[in-house]
Structure 1
Amino acid sequence: MSQKIGIIGGSFDPIHNGHLIIALDACEQFSLDRVLFVPAFQAPLKSKSPDASPAQRMQMVEKATEEEPRFLASDADYRFESTSYSVRTAATLKQDFPDADLHWILGADQIAQLHLWRDIEKLSEQVTFIAFERPGFKSTASPELPSHTRIKRGKLRQLDISSTEIRERLKSGQSAKYFLPANVFAYIKAENLYL
């Protein structure tokens, strides 16, 4: 029987407890065997580069995932050292895990934009999407999505944590201690990140 593997992509600048809780919810609601956290080398829809270097962001993801056996950091996007596209990430992970049933985990707000993703036709053949609803946001899939696109809806608990807020808190001298895994917070302090 093939493994059910979830994929969470993002800048992870920095990774925080919200990311980990979404991954845990995905494991429990959809019986995933594993969730891969894939830091984007450079996200295609973000004009500015992340504050932390690729190596620092990978270190933080490795630290954040080390205590949960179902979570794993993946360098699938870093191997190319260029703009990260989900379709290439999925193809790379399919080579790494040829028998896996891949599930791309995202916020439901992304569903309306999914038809704009690069090679969505091909990506929809490679993965099933798991979309977590956000409070106060009703998402609808675009009619422009390929007919074979598979979307499962997840129930997300109400959390209001963002990497942007964490960076702003650290830059202004506020604490972000309880927003992050303790070892990630310690790493950020040791590396003097986001000051």
Structure 2
Amino acid sequence: MMLPAAEQIGDPLHSLELVVVEVTDQGRRRPTKVARLVPPGSRVAVAELVSAKLAWFNTDKFVLSGEDCLAWERKTMHASQSWLCQFDVPSKEAVFKVWTSHQEGVEMSRHRVLNSGPNFTASSIGVSSMMHEQLGRHTTQALVRRATTTHLALLDCDIAWMSEERFCLTGFQHYPQSEQAPARLLRQGWFCEPDIPVLPAAVSERLLRKMSLR
């Protein structure tokens, strides 16, 4: 049942770290993504979302949908659940550095991607459901924008993982038909990291790069 009002997870005065990892679901015997909210300095999650999927993203907020695992009469029950998360950043609006992680549909090593420098900086990210004319169906589309210009688009977008410093979106990049090749959909991924302005040297670089949510 949908709650009449959203419920805060944890202490509203303290941010939580969000980690998204892929694990093996022992019951279903297949990989699944799990999202965990962990207090800073702790290894114990205060909440966990199984089969987590990215449903929506706008500026500094995003929604993960999945399942809660509930114990009921000595059995584990799965109930639908969604988290509305907000980045805890010093500026009023969250902007991101974005690296593309695939070349012609082939994944590059993480070391190579990050060493090459971001493709875009100070950019906003938006994810929503839309009807794609070329695909002829609804899809989840992610956009990277700077000012009023859209620089990148990712179709069938979902979150692959999230760590303390950055997260990865995966999907397909649409290449329209040209004289050299027909229209194509090639695998693509984005490494995304909050683009936080440089603060005084007294603040450690790791603290600046560490993502937190409120």
For normalisation by structure 2, the TM-score amounts to 0.22
For normalisation by structure 1, the TM-score amounts to 0.24
- Structure with bigger strand share is 2
- Structure with bigger helix share is 1
Q: Which has the higher contact order (CA 8 A, sep 6+)?
A: 1
